[in-house]
Chain A
């Protein structure tokens, strides 16, 4: 048995080294792209004064979600600023949004394809199961080896983790088009592509948006864990505080994490109900 395990380990390590040696340019460019994306969004958020951001959250939250939420969210974010963790909060937000964005670019079209072709779904289920059950921080190690310390690794791992929920729910939404509407599409003379865009995707919308929400939340969790790899943001703050046994700092960061997570969750859920708002009935 030991030989098998040793052999397996050898294969994995050799494989990693081979990739490292031969695909350097590929991973360097990947890192550059991810870092670039991170810097752009982070710069944008950093340039916004904190009170403007909080005001925006207050107003949009008031109108879109609810008064109590809006006030609580604004208060929570103000607390982040008061604890001196504003830039870390913004960095975390950047990581979540950019990673989830990339994940959705893959997950939604992928989910549509899987939803349409029953043959694909078995294969994709296996892959998605694998991704979702692997302990998340394991994704970070190959990331460090290939992309080094920093935001790029965090974004890569977060993207991988954020793909399954959106992909699954998109596929589910597409599959769940009621039969009478598929018949309608054919009876009216639509091409299969027209049926997809005019009928099946609109019906899948609520499910897709639920997937977006789930991906954001799972991505957020991953971003916090990715503090280990020097990603910046609240995850790193927590990790550093834990490492140096500074309980007060770790609690502060924890509170900020909770605040940001709730704000993100409520807004994306609201987006979900807005999206299906036209589908009354």
Chain B
């Protein structure tokens, strides 16, 4: 019994349909063969001399959702994210942003899309070294018809959101790596785009700064209701930030689901290997591990109670605090299930409770 990601009622912001990307000469012929399924990745390389970077990627991202694409180097994630603002064009398939196919957009509309509706943050930040922090943040605004003071005000407020208001007149070389990336985020936010493309933004930073920025980004993105597509090779980062995660392997999407789904129900060996070391304490919720009320004997009154959405850590703490063998799980005001000590142990161990 697992709650699926609640995407009902939210509109689609970004979508890709059967996107394929080949690098090489015989792109079209290779596309045909790949679609028919007659060739696999190595065979395509041999017969057509093409490298398959992305194979049949299809997914939707809802408005306000943070969608993480996770994979190792060479899995195609960086190639895939560049399709959304058409830095790379697909060999086959469609990429739909805000209801329109980006590949069919004329140049001027594409530029408008890129400057007003999409912001991108790069792994190596890419701040122009000869411009001050403020001037860097104003780059996306320079295309739009704004007065200088409007631009300055907008940039100042963007810098304030990332906590760097006092550094506006410094040069990038005077900032630390983490601060530079905050400027990168401010720059992506400056034109107030609805969609953010984050290409492994924190991978080049050291672990403590990374964690801090992940939390800050999550807060900011939720507060501003941004739709984000976030690339990472760190599963923990994906779990910390993502509403849903897509796991990529060698160009293919292997599984898409909530962090909970990925960790508790890995689709195959590959994903299972990844999630092995992940701590389940915050991911597993009461509703996933509780036994039906009737199946467990005894009276439900007098038991300590917890909510359906409480996580494993909360339940364990509760059990320890009251020395209880069982905990009643409530949804609103009615008891819907019971979590026994055995349920808790199985949950920690990663054994399915059904």
Residues of A in contact with B (beta carbons under 8 Å apart): 180-181, 183-184, 186-191, 194, 198-199, 202-203, 205, 278-281
Contacts and interface: CB of A to CB of B under 8 A. Distances in A.
B124 A202 contact: no
A280 B129 contact: yes
A189 B111 contact: yes
B172 interface: yes
A180 B122 contact: yes
10 contacts: A180-B126, A184-B120, A189-B110, A189-B112, A189-B113, A190-B115, A191-B111, A278-B171, A280-B174, A281-B171
Given A180-B122, A181-B126, A189 B143 contact: yes
Given A184-B122, A202-B128, A280-B173, A190 B85 contact: no
A188 B115 contact: yes
Contacts of B110: 189
Nearest to B107: A191
Contacts of B172: 281
B130 A278 contact: yes
A120 to B, nearest CB: 23
A198 B171 contact: no
Most buried by B among A186, A188, A203, A281: A188
Contacts, number: 61
Given A190-B111, A199-B128, A278-B130, 9 more contacts: A180-B122, A183-B126, A184-B139, A187-B85, A188-B114, A188-B120, A189-B113, A194-B143, A280-B129
A134 B162 CA distance: 59
B203 to A, nearest CB: 14
The 7 closest A-B pairs by CB, nearest first: A281-B173, A189-B115, A189-B114, A187-B120, A279-B130, A189-B111, A180-B126
Contacts of A280: 129, 171, 173-174
B128 A190 contact: no
A190 to B, nearest CB: 6
Most buried by B among A189, A198, A205: A189
Interface of B: 85, 87, 110-116, 118, 120, 122, 124, 126, 128-130, 139-140, 142-143, 171-174, 197
A84 B174 CA distance: 52
A179 to B, nearest CB: 10
Contacts of A279: 129-130
A57 B287 CA distance: 83
Given A183-B122, A280-B173, A281-B171, A188 B129 contact: no
B142 A183 contact: no
A183 B199 CA distance: 12
Contacts of A278: 130, 171
Contacts of A199: 128
A227 to B, nearest CB: 42
Nearest to A191: B111
Given A183-B122, A280-B171, A281-B173, A188 B139 contact: yes
A191 B109 CA distance: 11
Contacts of A198: 139, 142
A274 to B, nearest CB: 13
Contact of A202 (B85, B126, B130, B142): B130
Given A188-B139, A280-B171, A180 B124 contact: yes
A199 B139 CA distance: 10
A194 B115 CA distance: 13
Contacts of A180: 122, 124, 126
A194 B114 CA distance: 14
Nearest to A275: B130
A190 B143 contact: yes
Contacts of B140: 188-189
A186 B87 contact: yes
Contacts of B171: 278, 280-281
Contacts of B122: 180, 183-184
